[in-house]
Structure 1
Amino acid sequence: MAFGRLGEQREPMAEMNIIPLVDVMLVLLVVFIVTAPVITHSVNVKLPTADASPQDERPDSLTISLDAAGQLYLADEPVRATRLESRLEQAMSENPELVVYLRADESTPYGRVAETMAKARQAGVERLGFVSRPE
């Protein structure tokens, strides 16, 4: 707030000084511009292995497997991709607390894994886990 006289008035002049606010905003802008490239860099990750201890599959679980050729298996039985969703819907209707595990070969394209995950989601699977081999 600035105080001063305007002519013969003896009242304080009430003006907001926004220069410090602009300075702070410009400093924040520069900080974000400098840190943005650091945050968005990609990280090379090898997905098929994990250093977590392997967990036993629960009795109320179902395993979907994808081999290197892209063939789908549901509970170790071959299944077509078109039938996967209906089979999962049937299993979910029998047991709504069902946990589905997805096992994929490391040479399986990620797009195929994503399609399988989407089909499981459309079938109503809410609990989906990935199985990996320990390092």
Structure 2
Amino acid sequence: MAFSAAGNSGRPLADINVTPLVDVMLVLLIIFIVTAPMVAIPIPVDLPQHTDRVIERPDPPPPIELRVDAGNQLYWNGQPLAREDVQSRLSEQAQVHAGNLPELRIAASPDAQYEVMAQVLAAANNAHMERIAFVQ
């Protein structure tokens, strides 16, 4: 819809008010002038350098498969295990494979109690197991 000005013989007013546009452009110009020097300052980054040296990584040990069945019985790689022995067995494995810890794969029955899983996870944390996976 066009606006009509008084005394303009009923023709629509076709002038555009550019003052707000100029104000916005001046503000943007000032912002760019202030921020441009900051963008030009180099940021030191330590990147890794290429080397031809081959890094020897030992093969990971076989994973530990820990299963909790519906009766809250624990199985270590298919062998029954008492709840009290989980901490000692995990600590033993952590000492045997120091620096290259095996993956702990935990499979829990949906009917297993939460307390048993909490004890198993606490034992894994206390043994400083780094890789824990939940499997079905």
TM-score normalised to the size of structure 2?
0.51
CA separation in 1, counterparts of 2:131 and 2:61?
A: 14
Deviation at 1:93, TM superposition (A): 1.2
Q: 2:72 aligns with which of 70, 73, 87?
A: 70
Structure 1: runs of 5+ lacking an equivalent: 1-57
Identity among equivalent pairs (%): 27
CA separation in 2, counterparts of 1:88 and 1:119?
A: 7
Deviation at 1:129, TM superposition (A): 0.6
Residue identity matched to 1:79: L
CA separation in 1, counterparts of 2:75 and 2:125?
A: 17
Equivalent residue, structure 1, for 2:62: 60
Equivalent residue, structure 2, for 1:116: 120
Say if 2:61 and 2:97, in contact at 8 Å, map to a contact too: no
Equivalent residue, structure 1, for 2:9: none
Deviates more, 1:92-101 or 1:79-88: 92-101
Equivalent residue, structure 2, for 1:46: none
Say if 2:105 and 2:133, in contact at 8 Å, map to a contact too: yes
CA separation in 1, counterparts of 2:76 and 2:85?
A: 10
Q: Does 1:92 align with 2:94?
A: yes
Which of structures 1 and 2 has the bigger CA Rg?
2
1:12-63, CA deviations, whole angstroms, 9 ceiling, x for partnerless residues?
xxxxxxxxxxxxxxxxxxxxxxxxxxxxxxxxxxxxxxxxxxxxxx852101
**Partner of 2:94: helix, strand, or coil?**
helix
| Structure 1 runs, 4 residues or longer, greater than 4 Å off | none
TM-score normalised to the size of structure 1?
0.51
- Which has a greater percent of strand? 1
